[in-house]
Amino acid sequence: MAEWIECKISDIGTVVGGATPSTKKPENYENGTIAWITPKDLSTFSGRYIQHGERNITEAGLRSCSTQLLPKNTVLFSSRAPIGYVAIAANDVCTNQGFKSVISNENTNPLFLYYLLKYNKDKIEGMGSGTTFKEVSGNTMKNIVVSVPTDKKVQERISSMLGSIDDKIEENERINNNLEQQADALYQEFFSPKSGTQGKIATLDEYCSIFTGKKNANASVDGGQYKFFTCAPDALQIDSYIYDGNAIIVSGNGAYAGRTRFYSGRFDLYQRTYACTLLDNINPDYIFPLYWFVKLELSKKIMGGTRGSAIPYIVMNDLAKFEFIYNNETFAQYMPIFKTLTETIQANEFENETLANTRDSLLPQLMSGELDVSDIDL
C-alpha cells in the first residue's frame, strides 16, 4: 500500500506568477519569439501540452515587467478569469498575471502535478477571493494543502494510467483535425465559389427544415440521457429530445455564433441554437456535404457584422437563404467521401467522450489513494 502525505503546494513545487508587458510599446510584442500565455489561450485549448499562445513577446517585453520565463514541464494554472484552466508548458513559456504556475521539484512528477491540480481545481477555486471576480493569490496557492504519494514511482504510475487515456484522446483529435483539413480541401477544390464548378445556386431551405429549440440554457440536467446544444462549444445534457437523426447544429449568438457541428442521434436545443435537418424528399446522404458547406462558409458570409449589436448573432433567414453551388454529378461523386469523413470524425468524438468519462471517474480514485497502484507494473 502506497504511503500518502499531506503537504502544501509549495512543498512540491515553486509557485510563479506572471505579468503583461505594456501594450502601448510595440517593441514589447513586434516580431517576438517568446511564448506568452493568457487564460484566454487556454479557453479553447483541449490538450495538455501547450507551446504558445495567441501572441508572443520580445526580450524587451520580458525584461519590462515581472513575468518570468518558465521551463518546459511547468504546470500552468489560471488563477483568475476564470480559475482552473490547467496545461503543461511544452517548451519555455511565460504568462500574464492570470496564472499561478507551479514548477515541480525533483520529487514531483510534472504530469502527476498536472492531474493533481485538475483534481483539486474546485478546492483551489473555493479559496479565491475578490468582488469583481475571484482570484487566487500567490500566497494562497502556495499554502493549499494537497495529498501526494511519497514514492515518485507511484506518482508516475498514476500519471501513466491517466496519461494513456489522454494520449488516445489527443490522437483522435489529431486525426479529426486532419480529416477536417481533407474536407476543407475537397470543398475548396470542387464546391467553393472560387472552384469554377458549374451548377445552379441553391439555398439551404430547398433541402432542409430549419428550427430552434425552446429552452433556456439552465434547462440542462447533469447526467441527462441526451445532448443539449446551446451556443457554447461543449454540449450539455438533458432528459428530453426534440429530434432523432442527422442534423447540422449552428450556434445562433454570442462569442461562438455561427459555430457549426454535425450530430447524429437524439438531442434538444437552446432557444438560440439552430438545427438543419433534411426534408423528407431529399437523399439522406445530402446532409454530409451540406454540413461541410455550412461549416466552412457560414462564418465568412455572415459573421463580418453584428447588425448594430455588440454581441454577434444570426437569424433564421441567414441559414434558410444560405447559398451553395449545386451540381448533381459533383454531388454524387463526392458525397460518399464527405459521409465517410463526417462519420469517422463523429465516431472519434464519441470515443473521446467515453475515454474522458473513464479518465474523470478514475481521477478522484487515483488522486485520493482509494485505488492503490503501488503494485501495478506499467
Give residue 93's identity as a one-letter amino acid code.
V
Do strands 243-251 and 323-326 pair parallel, antiparallel, or not at all (unpaired)?
unpaired
* Same fold flag, 4-150 and 172-355: yes
Give the integer Cα–Cα distance in Å for 28 and 11. Answer: 34
Average pLDDT over residues 133-137: 92
Q: How would you list the strands of the sheet with 34-37, edge to edge?
A: 55-57, 34-37, 94-95
- The cell numbers describing 50, all together, are 501547450
Banded model confidence at residue 375, pLDDT cuts 50, 70, 90: confident
If we measure between CA atoms, which residue out of 270, 253, 250 comes closest to residue 309?
A: 253
CA angle, residues 233, 239, 243, in degrees to nearest 5: 70
CATH architecture of 172-355: Alpha-Beta Complex (3.90)
Tell the residue number behind the cell numbers 475515454, with chain if given: 355
Beta bridge pairs of residue 139? none
For the chain, the 3-state helix, strand and coil shares in percent, each to the nearest 5, are 40, 25, 35
Mean pLDDT of the chain: 93
Task: Kindly list the domain boundaries of the chain, sorted by start residue.
Answer: 4-150, 172-355
pLDDT of residue 305: 47
Average pLDDT over residues 129-146: 93
334-374 confidence digits (pLDDT tens): 999 999 999 999 999 999 999 999 999 999 999 999 999 87
Banded model confidence at residue 302, pLDDT cuts 50, 70, 90: low
Give the integer Cα–Cα distance in Å for 46 and 280. Answer: 37
Give the integer Cα–Cα distance in Å for 325 and 305. Answer: 24
Give the integer Cα–Cα distance in Å for 308 and 315. Answer: 14
Give residue 330's identity as a one-letter amino acid code.
T
HSE, side-chain direction, 13 A CA sphere, residue 333: 9
HSE, side-chain direction, 13 A CA sphere, residue 283: 11
Tell the residue number behind the cell numbers 454570442, with chain if given: 254
Q: Is the dihedral of CA 285, 287, 289, 292 positive or negative?
A: negative
CATH of 4-150, one of 3.20.20.370, 3.90.220.20, 3.40.50.300, 3.90.1660.10: 3.90.220.20
174-204 confidence digits (pLDDT tens): 999 999 999 999 999 999 878 888 899 999 9
Give the integer Cα–Cα distance in Å for 182 and 168. Answer: 21
The whole-model pTM stands at: 0.90
pLDDT of residue 267: 98
